[in-house]
């Protein structure tokens, strides 16, 4: 209760500067308060007004001033300084926030790394060096802390790239009442003892030629697979769903020349088929008659396997040219020699000379 019942933040930047902040809108209802401080002791204190205010929406929310001694007294008052709203006396060296480590070095030995930094000039026993690292496959940082100012860690994979960062921590409660740490030193990237610009450098980018060749091979392989699948699909489709013949081709004359008149098309088709049949029957009838005559002659007088048949007009006129044209009428189912081979000759075969 009373004047000590508010929260303030006190930071001593490595015994050089002090920064004290408060929540203006929550504590003082947006009142623009004033701040005073002193490093003196006793009843006769000399209060100094803040010359470097920190603002929050145009309201004073903190003060930045130089550290001048171990004992600090502060006073927050109303805007004109006539009424004190809050006061506190404290040891400034219990709120130290250390500076980042300087001259950080990395020493690699196989899978072990040792990280070191320069020792601060004061209060080295109050500081601890914290090392954090992670590979590009890790989501969270791994942490290792040791006495200032060297830390050693092992178990690093030489095939992985690691990110490293270090900072100094103030020991609590031996040296600080608040657990303050320095800002992180600049992050560095290492792989098997080699310093890199980033962990992306350990991945060798593919050249444009390799990319083009890879894409071309992938496209060709895809086309080959599609061709094979298409051929198999055609076979399956043909076996499962055979092609249905189009009726318009066998009945083309019905629609093209007879306008769909079925009776006219049938009459025309029967006439054509009958004429065609007669054309093929006439030669067969003549051949059969000739064969019967030859068979009669052969039955009266034995002779060779073949008989020369001459036209009657040629014999009566003694036409030598017509006599030379003859048909060799083969005997039914007889064997005839030709070029040293025996050939079976039936009624349906004839030779024209």
Using DSSP, state whether 70 is helix, strand or coil: coil
Query: Is pLDDT above 90 for 295?
Result: no
In the predicted structure, residue 334 carries a pLDDT above the cut 70: no
Q: What is the mean pLDDT of residues 129-137?
A: 92
Which tens digit of pLDDT belongs to each residue from 2-32? 455 678 899 999 889 999 998 877 788 777 8
pLDDT at 204: 46
pLDDT in tens, 296-333: 554 454 444 444 444 444 444 444 444 444 444 444 45
Residue 1 has pLDDT above 80, yes or no: no
- Condensed to tens digits (0 to 9), the pLDDT of residues 268-290 reads 766 555 455 545 454 544 445 45
Greater confidence (239 vs 169) lies with: 169
Indicate if the pLDDT at residue 89 is higher than 70.
Answer: yes
Record the pTM: 0.53
DSSP state of 172: T
Q: Which domains does the chain have, with CATH numbers?
A: 8-97 (2.60.40.10), 105-196 (2.60.40.10)
Q: How far apart are the first and last CA of the chain?
A: 144
Residues 62 and 40: their CA atoms lie apart, in Å, by 21
- Residue 313, both tokens: 């007009």
For residue 55, the surrounding DSSP H or E stretch is strand 53-56
């Amino acid at each position: 209760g009373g004047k000590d019942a508010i929260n303030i933040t006190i930071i001593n930047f490595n015994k050089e500067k002090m920064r004290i902040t408060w929540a203006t809108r929550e504590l003082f209802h947006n009142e623009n308060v004033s701040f005073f401080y002193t490093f003196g002791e006793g009843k006769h204190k000399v209060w100094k007004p803040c010359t470097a205010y920190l603002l929050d929406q145009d309201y004073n929310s903190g003060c930045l001033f130089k550290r001048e001694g171990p004992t600090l007294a502060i006073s927050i008052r109303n805007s004109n300084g006539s009424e004190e709203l809050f006061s506190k006396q404290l040891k400034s060296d219990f709120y130290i926030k250390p500076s980042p480590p300087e001259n950080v070095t990395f020493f690699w030995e196989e899978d072990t790394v040792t990280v070191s930094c320069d020792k601060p000039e004061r209060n080295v026993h109050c500081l601890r060096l914290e090392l954090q690292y992670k590979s590009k496959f890790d989501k969270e940082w791994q942490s290792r802390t040791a006495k200032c100012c060297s830390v050693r860690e092992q178990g690093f994979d030489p095939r992985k790239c690691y990110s490293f960062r270090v900072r100094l921590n103030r020991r609590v409660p031996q040296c600080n009442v608040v657990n303050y740490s320095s800002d992180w030193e600049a992050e560095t990237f290492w792989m098997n003892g080699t310093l890199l610009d980033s962990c992306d450098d350990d991945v060798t980018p593919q050249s444009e030629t390799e990319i083009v060749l890879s894409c071309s091979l992938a496209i060709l392989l895809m086309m080959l697979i599609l061709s094979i699948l298409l051929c198999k699909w055609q076979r399956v489709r043909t076996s499962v769903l055979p092609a249905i013949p189009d009726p318009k081709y066998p009945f083309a004359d019905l629609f093209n020349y007879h306008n769909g008149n079925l009776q006219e098309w049938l009459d025309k088709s029967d006439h054509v088929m009958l004429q065609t049949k007669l054309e093929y029957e006439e030669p067969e009838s003549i051949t059969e008659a000739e064969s019967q005559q030859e068979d009669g002659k052969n039955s009266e007088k034995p002779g060779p396997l073949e008989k020369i048949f001459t036209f009657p007009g040629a014999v009566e006129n003694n036409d030598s040219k017509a006599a030379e044209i003859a048909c060799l009428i083969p005997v039914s189912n007889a064997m005839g020699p030709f070029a040293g081979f025996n050939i079976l000759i039936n009624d349906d075969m004839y030779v024209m000379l």
